[in-house]
Amino acid sequence: MKTAERSQLTPELVARYPRPGMAIPGRLRYSPDGKFVTYLFSERGDLVRDLWRLDLSSGRKEHWLSAPGEAVTEENISREEVLRRERLRLRETGITEYFWAKKANVMLLPLRGELYRWAEGKVTRLTGGGVIDPKVTDDGQRVFFVRDGDVWTIGDRGERRLTSHPAGTTNGIAEFVAQEELDRLSGYWPSPKGDLIAFEQVDESHIPIYPIVHQGKAALEIEEHRYPFAGAENARVKLGVVSVASGEATFMDLGREEGYLARVDWHPDGRLLVQWLSRDWTRLELLAFHLPSPLGEGRVGAIPLLVEKADPWINLHSDLHAIEATGEFTWSSERSGFRHLYLYAPDGRLIRQLTSGEWLAEATVELDERGGQLYFVGWRTSPLERHLFRVSLEGGEPEQLTSEPGTHGVVIAPDFSSFVDAWDNREHPPSITVRNMQGAPQRVIHEAMPNDLEVPPPELHQFRTSDGVELLAAVYRPHSHRPGAGEGQGGGRAPVVVSVYGGPGPQMVNDSWAQTVDLRAQWLAQNGFVVLKVDNRGSARRGRAFEAPIARRLGQIEVRDQVEGVRWLDSQGFADTSRVGIYGWSYGGYMTLMALLTAPNIFKAGIAGAPVTFYEGYDTAYTEKYMGTPQENPEGYRLGSPLTYADQLRAPLLVVHGMIDENVHFRHTARLMQALIDAGKRFESLIYPNERHMPRSEKDRVDMERRLLEFFQRNL
């Protein structure tokens, strides 16, 4: 399609989900018998998904199941499920999740707190009323779930409660920081046979209640959250194991100083494997527990298998996979400075390192025990891309299995004969193809959708800072300033808006379609702005040495790197770096404030969304990983707080926040507003009474996008 025929962006289009080309199948999985690939998809192109399947033998795709009864919406689910969706950053409705048994064609469908089972071509309702986090045994015969703060089961003896929580505790539910910061959403773990259940018992009764008042509703509503602030007490956690048959329970003796229950897994030989993370994030222990039979009173002691130590912090992984035949297990570590894969003996003795080099074996996808191969995603030549690799457990060079440049996400068949490849890059919207293990296409699940919007891909660049560090950047040029647009059409250099996240975790610059359909950046470019993104030091996917400089001093080197990005952009000849704005959300909102307040000679206007303004007001796990506690590092907390510099504001500022944000509380913005008022500084605010951390109302988002553009047009 010619550019002239494409649609121009509007606030309504910028606010709409899914993004152009992103109405794609999700939750892709092979059926246990390997005959189908199942996935969630909306044929209408909206967020309401149904369950589909692809017949691998015939290539036939069919709409398979819709949500029975009323579809899942934001309005008809429990608050607990609303908050789980927030942890998952989940916008989709309809059928939002399903689970196959590992070795039987049995599937669970959770919907609106009810639980359904599909088997032998028929859907049956199993139970209802507050069901969360359902699981099914490998053979499909037994189901588990959490309800009312306890673990339940459905099996040959009907529906039963397996645990009974003492007052002030819960069983089987992950605490807030585990869900939000440890990437652990579950609090219980059935054994492979389904005869034992490991479960987390959480006591938060000693943590003060943080109330969140719904100010924008007709009826008074108050949420009560137990939120552990940096330097204060965490939830008290125990790990127990209960017998499904007898109901007898035993608790593990973790015997460690204060820390986090990071991961729990069952070894094929019956041992319970626990990853225990020190509270300061510098020590990770893999512990093994030999369980007594039968279970009973008393505590079971731990046998340490391995210990990881790292400075300044450990990044958690989910790369522990055990080999049933030998008891060996695979593991990943950043001990070399880059994440790589290792093979260990059952007793924790290192057998061999499987990958090495200045690149990332980012995450394990599957372990092929019979074939002796480990499949993983990562990059070897460019951190802008992600590919599928495999490496032999006997050692040797990894083999790259995907070839198209860009970003690949994969699911591997149970028999390792094929894989589903979801691929995209800046030029190519997502397509999803079943490929054989040599990479040849076999079946197409989803073809890249044509794009009828004026959203050309951004340019990707790299440059060196004044101290010699290579940074990656993405640039969205104004339409009139693109190469080939003609001399003089741009009317001189264009004003700049920096789009920033800047914190540890997300990678803002990569070769993906998500870059192209960053519609806010595209809309600003359409309206005459140059938009710049830079992944500063502290960002992910570049190794530990690239992440580490921000340790204990957040908000300092990140701002300097963004300044370096603006200076590099100035050398390109089309940007007016005397007119630079900046915007971001969450850590990006924090970065916006720090940039305006500590580099006012560069940044002349800013929009800060849901910003942290004082780290004593953020949670323990995240804050202490990067900053230590306020008691240990008071100067780092002082220098890392925008409140410290409130009297230095010289540029126009717009602060945006949802009043019921349970992650970065509205209190952060309220304290900033008061500090600016006390300092006699002018600012603007945009408050959404019914939004949490991630704005969900399309009307709110339309209003926000309109206001954001107007702000930059007025001030730049």
The yes-or-no answer on residue 693 being catalytic is yes
First to last CA, the chain: 33
User: Alpha helices, DSSP H only, in 51-181?
Assistant: 79-88, 176-181
Closest CA to 22 of 97, 91, 88: 91
DSSP strand pairing (61-65 vs 48-55)? antiparallel
Distance CA 671, CA 652 (A): 18
Specify which residues 431 forms β-bridges with: 423
- Selecting among 586, 619, 641, 657, the annotated active-site residue is 586
**The pair of three-digit structure tokens given for residue 39, joined into one six-digit string:** 């996935």
DSSP strand pairing (373-379 vs 387-392)? antiparallel
Tokens 């015997």 — which residue?
Answer: 255
- Selecting among 518, 661, 665, 668, the annotated active-site residue is 661
The yes-or-no answer on residue 586 being catalytic is yes
Taking CA atoms, 471 is separated from 295, 383, 462, 564, in Å, by 55, 11, 6, 9
Taking CA atoms, 250 is separated from 148, 153, 175, 275, 285, in Å, by 21, 18, 21, 18, 21
Taking CA atoms, 320 is separated from 53, 291, 341, 529, 691, in Å, by 30, 20, 10, 46, 37
Residues comprising the chain, all counted = 716
> Is 18 exposed, middle or buried (CB count within 10 Å of its CB: 0-12, 13-18, 19+)?
middle
**The pair of three-digit structure tokens given for residue 603, joined into one six-digit string:** 């940044």
> Is 678 exposed, middle or buried (CB count within 10 Å of its CB: 0-12, 13-18, 19+)?
exposed
The yes-or-no answer on residue 203 being catalytic is no
Q: For the chain, how big is the Rg over CA atoms in Å?
A: 26
Q: What is the three-state SS of 352-377?
A: EECCCCCCEEEEEEEEECCCCEEEEE
Active-site residue list: 586, 661, 693
